[in-house]
Amino acid sequence: MLRYLGRRLLQALPVFFGATLLIYAMVFLLPGDPILALGGDRGISEALAEQLREKYNLDKPFIVQYLLYIKGIFVGDFGTTFSGRPVGELLTQAFPVTFKLAIMALALEAIFGVGFGLVAGLRKGKIFDSTLLVISLIVIAVPTFVIGFLLQFFVGIRWGLLPVTVGPNVSFTTLLMPAIVLGAVSFAYVLRLTRTSVSENLTADFVRTATAKGLSRPRVVTVHVLRNSLIPVVTYLGADLGALMGGAIVTEGIFNINGVGGTLYKAIQQVHAPTVVSFTTVLVIVYIVANLFVDLLYAALDPRIRYA
Amino acid sequence: MSRDTFVLEPAVEPDGSEKPLLRIRNLDVSFTTSTGVVNAVRGANITMYRGQSLAIVGESGSGKSTTAHAIINLLPGTGKVTGGSIEFDGRELVGASEKDFVGIRGAQIGLVPQDPMTNLNPVWSIGFQIKEALRANGIATGRAADKRVAELLAEAGLPDAGRRAKQFPHEFSGGMRQRALIAIGLAARPQLLIADEPTSALDVTVQRRILDHLEGLTDELGTAVLFITHDLGLAAERAEQLVVMYRGQVVESGPSVKILSDPQHPYTQRLVAAAPSLASRRIQSAKARGVTTDEVLAVTHGDGVNPSRGELLRVEHLTKVFEIRGAGKGEKEFKAVDDVSFTMARGTTLALVGESGSGKSTVANIMLNLLQPTEGKIYFEGTDLHSLGKAAEFAFRRRVQPIFQNPYGSLDPMYSIFRTLEEPLRIHKVGDAKSREKRVRELLDMVALPQSTMRRFPNELSGGQRQRIAVARAVALAPDVIVCDEAVSALDVLVQAQILTLLNDLQAELGLTYLFITHDLAVVRQIADEVCVMQDGRIVEAATTDEVFDDPRQDYTRELLAAIPGASLDMFGAA
Amino acid sequence: MRDKLDRIDRPDQSHFFASLDDAVLDEVDVVDETAAPASLWQDAWRNLRRRPIFWVSAVLILSAVVLAALPGLFTKTDPMFCELTRSLDLPEPGHPFGFDKQGCDIFARTVYGARASVVVGVLTTIFVALLGSIVGAIAGFYGRWFDSLLSRITDIFFAIPLVLAAIVVMQIFKQYRGILTVVMVLAVFGWPQIARITRGAVMSVKNSDFVTAAKSLGASRFATLVRHVMPNALAPIIVTATVSLGSFIVVEATLSFLGIGLPPDKLVSWGADIAKASRSLRDQPSILFYPSGALALTVLGFIMMGDAVRDALDPKARKR
């Protein structure tokens, strides 16, 4: 088991460096000189510009900048924005909000996706199943922002059930609608995955053996069918956390959430490399950690993996 | 209430005779498919009494499994009982509620399913799965159940039961898993145990041990056993009563001894004639039988149709060591083949017999040049294979061809039969498009398939037909040697006999030499001239077929012979 | 051993055999020559034809393609021609959907918007399918360090969120914004999914006996990969590609929505229109409906098609 985890960790390292390097390179290629942009309309003296460039390491070759930056991360120094704020501060402000949002979305999609998927898989071909299938298709086909607007309009404005924007009040109620919107597409995928998994396992040999033992149907379904069907679903859910956090940008825009998405968007437009790269780095770390966690969970759920 | 000692108290009919435990009358079972309704079972009649053993014998599609599953309402998919009655212990089961069945399953009727690999849930421990059976049938719970689980495992022949109970299915061997399944089936001491091909996925010696054990247990408990099997020898050996099914109908039934010695229905006669465990002669090729064949195909590598008995292939001190990643630390070495030597004479058949892990398939792969040996040499017509350059190696490929075990995997599903048969010719650039088509037609004739098969695809053919295509493909380049790796093991008995006859005929016509890999000693008797028995990578005995069967020298060989189902029946005069 | 001699002879268990009329014996294993030959693809096609979901999705896709190819057939109005005087005007003959806040003809914009979505979707899918399947096939077939290297590269691209990367890259190529840039961005960060699917499919096919048979015939490894393994690995690739097409269209719309997709002054995009409509949601919510509906229906078409094809190609449905 330890060997298995160790191997996974080793595989995660090149992913970490590769991804951060890639992002750093991409940001490096962004057009525009950020220092000149700082000066705004008044322009900026060459000497001052030189000084600033040196301060932010912008005069050094690319690879050196990258390595300096990585070194910085390991001591917790994420750099400073051009307006003087440490990027770390931006991180601690933005990430918890997005994290809460993503966790809520994950919980919703897990509970409802698995729940409905189980019923659909059990009643494959019947009305309930067909209805759910159509709903899941529609949810995937309609873009997140449209769902966002529609929900905001009807649930928020017309019917006044939930708050329309979040802003500074981050709480369960305010985040509920955004979480639903964010998790909608994933909910559809989880539902379909569970449904397929369940209907496949229903015809598995070991399920027949379990029934032949004299077990009641509810027990066969929960202990044998569901338990085995969960394995691919869990894998998907784990990978989804990173995707949710990284893809929340649209939802955060619609509901005015001061999270990762909004901050990142502004930083890209300002061409502030440290902010873009540190935020992306943390996202990559979240993705890697979530995957490692999923691997652990997978080994817990499937004993065959533990000895691989 | 402990039900370990089952006191036989036969119920009595009004007229004083004994009441049957299971009475199936005029049973009809059908499935609804996209192409219509399929009648899987028609008008079946089966009767069983307490403590009896009965075997339903048939090939695939005969309806034997369907009948058995219908008894406990476990029909897959769209299966339904559409007529007739199933009476168990006086109770009518057709039309009973699911709740009734839940009560009957496990407690009254147990099931030992076929494939030990897929029939145990991989994520729960063995002990957990046995405990479930105890709990569900009200036998025991909690601590008492744990204790009982250990007892049941020991009873099933699994030592160190306490530790075993915590392990998972993938940590058990096939035989151990089957024992666990038997423990589950008998956990609640049912009156009837349905054993669905309980050992067909296992090695022969393991099979014997497990069936002996099962017989002992059921004798002691007084359980009636309903065997489902395709193996006539096994059925005759283990069951008092026999029911032969063909295409969903019962064609013959009665005491097994009587049926085997005097089969009345033509189908049963065919089965008895073709069953390898019962037949004892090497199949004579059509040529030897004096049947002339018009098509004498030109043999392109020189020797002519009458094969000389010269040495074709010599294997010396072949060894193959695999490095595997052990569960512990570092890498371990596994010696799959250990100092194997043999020779093959042209035009003859050498059988490599062994159970799983004996190394026989590894030898086959080395012969086909798919694996490189760690040590040892192979001489083909005097040339050391290892010394061949790339061009010579490519030419060598033409002369040694394989036929694999699984008819459903050995043909590319995307290729039409024509393309499959043409491929060897195309790769070795034999002839032009026109002559290749001619050759494909010849090949189809050789394996007795109609010309129209050319345009078809593998998914339209049955297992036996696909295997015939595999034979045709192997013969396409007129090779010297064909390596048959369990080539008939996955086929029904009658189809198997067909393929073996075909192989024999082709051998005589084309002067082929066969290396026949198999675990089935009974098949060996029908097809091989010489036999090498392998165990743990080594050859333990090598002799002619007659010598091995009439006068085995090694204990292991004797064990293998004794394990052939039906071997103990001494009424078939194994010549 | 059960003592077979100690048996009671029961009348209903005596020797019985059926007459030949009841159970007619066939010859062993005869080929059914009556049915027409059918390859797996033909079987799948027959299966597909019977599913209503296939026909519905085919209609949706065809509609989108026709709108994309021949928008002039449906409207004579120039979608870029916007008069503020007509702002939020109601529908009238020739302009069935009315006008948006800037005074643009909504119907024309809906029709012309199809082109951007369909072209981006199709082009991206082609690139992604090619790149992803080649990488996945090499990783899956040749294994060992090819696999390790390519799998790590795939993981790296997977780790970076698609929308995020798209934002950065579109910012880099600010001057060159157009259909091709969007396609490139999506393709460069969207190929890992197909690569993974291909790798899995190739790995499960490469151990089949028919591949071993080809090897023992002397076929080169590469020839085996191309002629035997890939055709059999195609099914999951096709299904994933079809569904991905739908999701690429959604991503393009998202980028245009964020203002960093297709240039709104040159091309019509449903995403951009939705962004515009969202700003006037309180005044005229119905404007949102047309571009959203068109987008949803187009994407729905592709995703449903993917579902239908997956079910038709399912080997369990083809059991013989």
Of A205, A213, A227, the CB nearest to B132: A213
pLDDT interval class at C131 (50, 70, 90): very high
Judge whether residue C27 has pLDDT over 90: no
Question: With contacts defined as CB-CB under 8 Å, which chain A residues touch B140?
Answer: none
Distance between CA B457 and CA A222 in Å, rounded? 41
Q: Which two tokens stand for residue B227?
A: 């065997």
A8 sits in which H/E element = helix A2-28
Task: Give this prediction's pTM.
Answer: 0.84
Beta strands in B359-415 (DSSP E): 375-380, 383-384, 400-403
Task: Supply the pLDDT for residue B568.
Answer: 66
pLDDT of residue A125: 80
What DSSP string describes C105-119?
BHHHHHHHHHHHHHH
Query: Which residue, C94, C90, C118, is CA-closest to C287?
Result: C90
Q: Please, how many CA atoms are within 13 Å of residue B398, restricted to the half-sphere of its CB? A: 16
Would the CB atoms of A209 and B111 count as touching at under 8 Å? yes
Determine the longest span between alpha carbons in chain B, in angstroms.
85
For residue A85, pLDDT beyond 90:
no
Q: Reading across the β-sheet that carries B36-48, which strands appear in turn? A: B36-48, B22-33, B80-88, B91-92
- CB of C40 within 8 Å of any CB in chain B? yes
- Nearest CB neighbour to A15, from listed C156, C258, C292: C156
Q: What is the pLDDT of residue C226?
A: 92
Q: How confident is the model at residue C285 (pLDDT cuts 50, 70, 90)?
A: confident
Question: Which chains form contacts with chain B, at 3 or more CB pairs under 8 Å?
Answer: A, C
- Six token digits for residue A110: 């897990």
For residue B394, list chain C residues with Cβ-Cβ distance below 8 A: 218
Dist CA A97 CA A245 (whole Å) = 10
pLDDT of residue B288: 54
- Asked if pLDDT for residue A179 goes beyond 60, the answer is yes
The dihedral formed by the CA atoms of A68, A72, A75 and A80, expressed in degrees to the nearest 10: 150
Give A104-149 pLDDT, tens digit per residue: 999 999 999 999 999 999 988 888 888 998 899 989 888 888 888 8
Tell me how close the Cα of C158 comes to any Cα of chain B, in angstroms: 29
DSSP-derived letter for residue C222 is H
* A200 part of contact set with chain B, CB < 8 Å: no
**Tokens 């870029």 belong to residue:** C80
pLDDT band at C273 (very low <50, low <70, confident <90, very high): confident
Write out the two tokens for C201. Answer: 């499919």
**DSSP per residue, A46-100:** HHHHHHHHHHTTTTS-HHHHHHHHHHHHHTT---B-TTS-BHHHHHHHHHHHHHH
What are the E-state strand segments in A68-226? Answer: none
Cα Rg for chain B, rounded, in angstroms?
26
| Residues A132/A199, Cβ–Cβ less than 8 Å | no
Q: Does A202 touch chain B (CB under 8 A)?
A: no
Residues of C in contact with A149 (CB under 8 A): 274, 278, 281, 288
pLDDT computed for residue C121 by the predictor: 93
Residues of C in contact with B254 (CB under 8 A): 13-16
Report the alpha-carbon distance of residue B464 to residue B492 in Å, rounded. Answer: 8
C202-254 residue pLDDT tens: 998 988 899 999 988 888 889 999 999 999 999 889 999 999 999 899 989 98
Q: What is the spatial distance between Cα A260 and Cα B175, in angstroms, rounded to a whole number?
A: 57
Provide the shortest C-alpha distance from residue C31 to chain B (in Å). Answer: 7
With a cut of 50, which residues of chain B have pLDDT below it? 1-9, 287, 290-308, 571-575
Give all chains having 3 or more CB-to-CB distances under 8 Å with chain A: B, C
Evaluate if residue C177 carries a pLDDT over 50: yes
Q: Give the separation between CA C35 and CA C38, rounded to whole angstroms.
A: 9
Cα–Cα nearest to B193, from B92, B97, B103, B107: B107
CA distance B31 to B78: 5
Counting Cα atoms < 13 Å in the Cβ hemisphere of C141 gives: 22
pLDDT of residue B331: 67
Nearest to A140 by CA among C306, B359, B557: C306
User: Which contiguous run of DSSP H or E holds residue B227?
Assistant: strand B224-229
Residue type, B403: I
Cα–Cα dist A101/A172, whole Å: 9
C163 to chain A: closest CA residue: A247
Q: What is the pLDDT of residue B394?
A: 84
Contact between chains at A30 and C156 (C-beta distance less than 8 A): no
Q: Where are the beta strands (DSSP E) in B232-284?
A: 241-246, 249-255
Rounded Cα distance between B204 and B357, Å, is 13
pLDDT for position B294: 28
Distance set, CA B28 to CA A294, B81, B193, C18, C207 (Å): 49, 6, 22, 16, 41
B416-419: long-range contacts at Cβ-Cβ below 8 A with a sequence spacing of 24 or more?
Answer: B416/B454, B416/B455, B416/B456, B416/B457, B416/C37, B416/C39, B417/B444, B417/B453, B417/B454, B417/B455, B417/B456, B417/B457, B417/B458, B417/B461, B417/B469, B418/B454, B418/B455
| Residue pair A91/A73 in contact by the 8 Å Cβ criterion | no
Cβ of residue C232 closer than 8 Å to a chain B Cβ: yes
Pair B46, B67: CB distance under 8 Å:
yes
Helices and strands: H and E segment counts in chain C = 11, 1
- pLDDT given at position B81: 93
Confidence of residue A193 (pLDDT cuts 50, 70, 90): very high
Token readout for C139 is 């990783």
Q: Of B326, B420, C35, C167, nearest to A267 (Cα)?
A: C167
Interface probe for A, chosen from B74, B121, B181, B329 (most Cβ of A below 10 Å), is: B121
| Cα–Cα distance measured from residue B293 to residue B282, given in angstroms and rounded to the nearest whole number | 20
For residue A103, what pLDDT is reported?
Answer: 92
Give the pair of three-digit tokens for residue A297.
Answer: 């969970």
Burial of B12 (0-12, 13-18, 19+ CB in 10 A): exposed
Report CA-CA distances (Å) from C114 to A52, A109, B208, B277: 48, 31, 70, 71
Chain A CB contacts of C166 under 8 Å are none
The pLDDT, as a whole number, for residue B301 is: 27
Cα torsion B421, B422, B426, B432 to 10°: value is 150
**What is the pLDDT confidence band of residue A274, given thresholds at 50, 70 and 90?**
confident
* Closest chain C residue by Cα to residue A281: C160
Q: Is A105 on the interface with C (CB under 8 A)?
A: no
- State yes or no: pLDDT of A246 exceeds 90: no
Q: What is the per-residue pLDDT for B466?
A: 92
Burial class for A86, CB neighbours closer than 10 Å (0-12, 13-18, 19+) = middle
Secondary structure of residue B344 in the 3-state scheme: strand
Report CB contact under 8 Å: B241, C13: yes
Task: Please tell me the number of Cα atoms within 13 Å of A64 on its side-chain side.
Answer: 6
User: Are the C-beta atoms of residues B43 and B49 closer than 8 Å to each other?
Assistant: no
- Average pLDDT of chain C is 84
Beta-carbon neighbour count of residue B52 at 10 Å? Answer: 23
Question: Cα dihedral sign for A83, A87, A92, A97?
Answer: positive
Residues 6+ apart with CB under 8 A from B243: B46, B54, B55, B56, B57, B250, B252, B253
**Residue A37: both structure tokens together:** 């942009």
- Residues B115, A205: C-beta atoms closer than 8 Å: yes
Decide: A168 and C300 in contact? Cβ < 8 Å: no
- C12 interface with B at CB cutoff 8 Å: yes
Can you give the pLDDT at residue B297?
Answer: 26
